[in-house]
């Protein structure tokens, strides 16, 4: 596969059974073959997208000392600010050439989860920052819920199989700033080749070159979405759950040509996580004689903690 397929979520939500089945087939095929799609028909308005980009640009333009005041020591980078070069890909020593912010779940009606998750951090210098972040989080979570419903049907599960697991799930909205490159990086890139931890990722801001996806032949493909599209990919949790029926694809953000080193790049991924106790044990529907069980039993919370240690965000 040499291009990332395009799908339209409005086919699934149209109320037309033929269009709904078409979407299930298209996204299921894409996620089995390359693990990425460009999706339109989502629930984000243009006004909301523009508003969030304006806010995050203002945040990353703040003096470094102010940004550093929002970095939570010992928090594993799960809320607030993470400074430049702190995160690295699994198996890499070089820090990625980026800084980022984390909005987390806004728990409703569950005191235990409210105690489990860290609180979101408010940016006092920007009164609209958290409001717009919360609205964007909700619309991406809603979009992800319908994508997972389609995937449940593709896997011959009940359509709402994932609903209870993602309600109040440990999802993260991550605005990222890749600053201008001032000197030639020795080995580091903006985001080294990696697979995502979570169930699915919904990415805002893949509208220019930089994001690349590795197909099953080992070739790197530019993943460029239109302004009205989100780039959506399978994460490692969903890959484990489906015994690799749905592929968690390796991807990276490469450094731009030297003539573009002076420009910043922004992107905003939404990492959709379930609640910690969700079992990631391989589904019976995805295990047979030709595809024996490929993973040990584990919960989503245990798997997340393992990966945060590997990324250098949590110490053993």
CATH code for the domain of 222 = 2.60.120.330
Cα separation, 191 vs 94, whole angstroms: 10
Cα separation, 14 vs 21, whole angstroms: 11
Classified as helix, coil or strand, 205 is: coil
Residue 217 domain flag: yes
- Neighbouring C-beta atoms of residue 287, cutoff 10 Å: 16
Cα separation, 172 vs 43, whole angstroms: 17
Q: Torsion angle, CA of 9/40/4/140, rounded to 10 degrees? A: -80
Dihedral sign computed on CA atoms, order 214, 307, 302, 118: negative
pLDDT of residue 89: 47
Ranges of H-type helices in 81-128: 111-116
Residue 275 domain flag: yes
User: What pLDDT tens digit does each residue of the chain (316 aa) get?
Assistant: 458 899 999 999 999 999 999 999 999 999 998 888 999 999 999 999 999 999 999 999 999 999 999 998 877 778 999 988 665 445 545 556 789 999 999 998 899 999 989 999 999 999 999 999 999 999 999 999 999 999 999 999 999 999 999 999 999 999 999 887 766 666 555 566 777 899 999 998 755 567 888 877 788 888 888 889 999 999 999 999 999 999 888 878 776 666 666 678 888 999 999 999 999 999 999 999 999 999 999 999 999 888 888 877 677 6
> Looking at residue 18, what DSSP letter applies?
H
First-to-last alpha carbon distance for the chain, in angstroms, is 39
Only one residue has tokens 């099953």, namely 216
The residues with which 267 forms a beta bridge, in sequence order, are 176
Residue 1 domain flag: no
Residue 316 domain flag: no
Residue 185 domain flag: yes
Domain interval for residue 233: 6-310
Q: How far is CA 125 from CA 23, 52, 99, 173, 296, in A?
A: 43, 15, 18, 20, 46
Residue 59 domain flag: yes
Domain count along the chain? 1
Indicate the length of the chain as a whole number. Answer: 316
Residue 315 domain flag: no
Q: Torsion angle, CA of 246/78/299/110, rounded to 10 degrees? A: -110
pTM beyond 0.85: the answer is yes
Residue 261 domain flag: yes
Dump strand ranges (E) for 28-140.
36-40, 80-82, 99-102
């Amino acid at each position: 596969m040499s291009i990332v397929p395009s799908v339209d979520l409005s086919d699934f939500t149209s109320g037309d059974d033929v269009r709904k089945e078409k979407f299930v087939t298209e996204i299921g095929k894409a996620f089995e073959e390359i693990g990425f799609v460009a999706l339109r028909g989502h629930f984000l308005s243009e006004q909301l997208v523009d508003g969030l980009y304006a806010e995050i640009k203002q945040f990353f333009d703040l003096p470094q000392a102010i940004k550093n005041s929002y970095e939570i020591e010992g928090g594993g980078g799960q809320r607030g600010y993470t400074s430049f070069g702190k995160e690295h890909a699994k198996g890499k020593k070089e820090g990625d050439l980026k800084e980022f912010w984390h909005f987390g779940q806004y728990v409703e009606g569950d005191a235990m989860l409210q105690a489990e998750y860290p609180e979101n951090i408010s940016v006092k210098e920007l009164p609209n920052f958290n409001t717009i972040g919360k609205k964007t989080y909700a619309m991406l979570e809603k979009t992800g819920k319908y994508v997972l419903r389609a995937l449940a049907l593709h896997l011959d599960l009940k359509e709402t199989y994932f609903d209870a697991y993602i309600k109040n799930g440990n999802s993260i909205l991550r605005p990222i700033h890749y600053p201008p490159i001032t000197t030639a990086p020795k080995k580091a890139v903006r985001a080294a080749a990696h697979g995502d931890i979570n169930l699915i990722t919904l990415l805002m801001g893949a509208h220019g070159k930089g994001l690349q996806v590795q197909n099953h032949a080992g070739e790197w493909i530019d993943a460029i979405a239109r302004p009205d599209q989100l780039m959506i990919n399978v994460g490692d949790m969903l890959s484990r759950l489906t015994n690799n029926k749905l592929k968690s694809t390796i991807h990276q953000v490469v450094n731009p040509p030297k003539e573009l080193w002076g420009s910043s790049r922004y992107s905003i991924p939404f990492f959709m996580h379930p609640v910690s106790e969700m079992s990631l044990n391989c589904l019976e529907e995805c295990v047979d004689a030709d595809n024996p069980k490929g993973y040990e039993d584990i919960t989503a919370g245990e798997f997340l903690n393992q990966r945060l240690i590997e990324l250098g965000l949590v110490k053993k």
